[in-house]
């Protein structure tokens, strides 16, 4: 099945951290794009993987599942995973799924880079 | 007219004015379905948070049908039916999502244990968390039906510049 790719993901190196900046809604049709970017980033074995989510105004459970998968892959690879700058709606779905204590989440990118 | 009769009359009027959307089981259409449901919910008086939660519930229901009911087949039918709920303390929105997927035991439709952190299995939990009620049933002869209801808080007035709510006599 062809999947739409109307989500953009920029990758930047900040010190020892690889930072992903996804922009767009993350649902069943877009989460594969995020998953591919995260796997590519993890292949380079950065010390930390930061996902800056200020550009994500909507995320459903497929997006959450993708981030849980990233957490598991990061742990296996010995890479620290930090989420930052969650919008109110994305924060809400993490709370509904009771995952806000499972992930390392910071208010902003500076906080993520300082962890 | 008694209160009970009034509620029945409102319900009949609401049913007459239901919005119905038929879409194919392709993930591309999720965003459009969310926008439609969210927009109608706002017109019915839900605030941004409430309309966003309703759209999230519909999105999760559709994603479950696509992933599990239709095993990712992109060309199967899904119906979304939406109408307003009326009556004292009952105002809100009722949404029915139907498909032609094989029957499953409704008793076995449940979210995963949240303590068992792993990818997937959150959709049903999210639906039940954000809606006031969510009930699965089977359709005859094939397909599943999910009926969801969310009530308005009394503090949320209908959008003043929007169209009349779908269940008002003005529309009947």
Domains and CATH numbers, chain B: 3-171 (3.30.565.10)
Task: Determine, yes or no, domain membership for A110.
Answer: yes
Question: With an 8 Å Cβ cutoff, are B28 and A29 in contact?
Answer: yes
For residue A1, list chain B residues with Cβ-Cβ distance below 8 A. Answer: 26-27, 72, 74
Alpha-carbon span B27 to A28, nearest angstrom: 6
Query: Where residue A89 sits, what CATH number does that domain have?
Result: 3.30.750.24
Task: Determine, yes or no, domain membership for A3.
Answer: no
Cβ–Cβ contact A68 with B under 8 A: yes
The predicted model scores a pTM of 0.84
Low-confidence ranges of chain A (pLDDT < 70): 1-5
Task: Determine, yes or no, domain membership for A43.
Answer: yes
Contact between A51 and A84 under an 8 Å Cβ cutoff? The reply is yes
Task: Determine, yes or no, domain membership for A67.
Answer: yes
Task: Determine, yes or no, domain membership for A69.
Answer: yes
Question: With an 8 Å Cβ cutoff, are A61 and B67 in contact?
Answer: no
Question: With an 8 Å Cβ cutoff, are A4 and B129 in contact?
Answer: no
Task: Determine, yes or no, domain membership for A103.
Answer: yes
The DSSP call for residue B159 is P
- Domain enclosing residue A17, as ranges: 8-114
Of A62-76, A100-114, B49-63, B117-131, least confident by mean pLDDT is B117-131
The larger pLDDT score, comparing residue B158 to residue B36, is at B36
pLDDT in tens, B11-31: 555 555 589 999 999 999 999
Cβ–Cβ contact B130 with A under 8 A: yes
Question: How many distinct structural domains can be found in chain A?
Answer: 1
Task: Determine, yes or no, domain membership for A2.
Answer: no
Interface test with chain A among B23, B27, B123, by most A beta carbons within 10 Å: B27
């Amino acid at each position: 099945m062809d999947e739409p790719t109307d989500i953009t993901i920029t990758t930047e190196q900040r010190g020892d951290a690889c930072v992903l900046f996804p922009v767009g809604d993350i649902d069943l049709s877009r989460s594969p794009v995020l998953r591919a970017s995260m796997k590519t980033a993890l292949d380079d074995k950065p010390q930390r993987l930061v996902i800056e989510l200020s550009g994500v105004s909507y995320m459903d459970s497929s997006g959450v599942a993708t981030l849980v998968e990233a957490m598991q892959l990061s742990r296996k690879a010995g890479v620290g995973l930090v989420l930052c700058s969650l919008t109110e709606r994305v924060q809400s779905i993490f709370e509904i799924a009771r995952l806000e204590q499972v992930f390392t989440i910071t208010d902003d990118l500076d906080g993520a880079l300082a962890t | 007219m008694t209160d009970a009769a009034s509620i029945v009359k409102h319900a009949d009027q609401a049913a007459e004015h239901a919005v119905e959307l038929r879409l194919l089981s392709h993930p591309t259409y999720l965003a459009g379905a969310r926008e439609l449901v969210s927009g109608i919910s706002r017109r019915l008086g839900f605030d941004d948070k409430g309309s966003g939660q309703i759209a999230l519930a519909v999105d999760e229901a559709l994603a479950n049908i696509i992933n599990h009911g239709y095993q990712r087949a992109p060309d199967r039918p899904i119906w979304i039916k939406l109408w307003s709920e009326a009556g004292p303390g009952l105002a809100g929105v009722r949404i029915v999502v139907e498909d032609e997927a094989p029957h499953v035991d409704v008793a076995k439709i449940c979210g995963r244990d949240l303590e068992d952190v792993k990818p997937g299995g959150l959709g049903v939990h999210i639906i039940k968390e954000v809606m006031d009620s969510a009930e699965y049933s089977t359709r005859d002869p094939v397909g599943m039906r999910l009926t969801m209801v969310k009530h308005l808080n009394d503090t949320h007035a209908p959008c003043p510049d929007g169209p009349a709510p779908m269940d008002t006599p003005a529309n009947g």
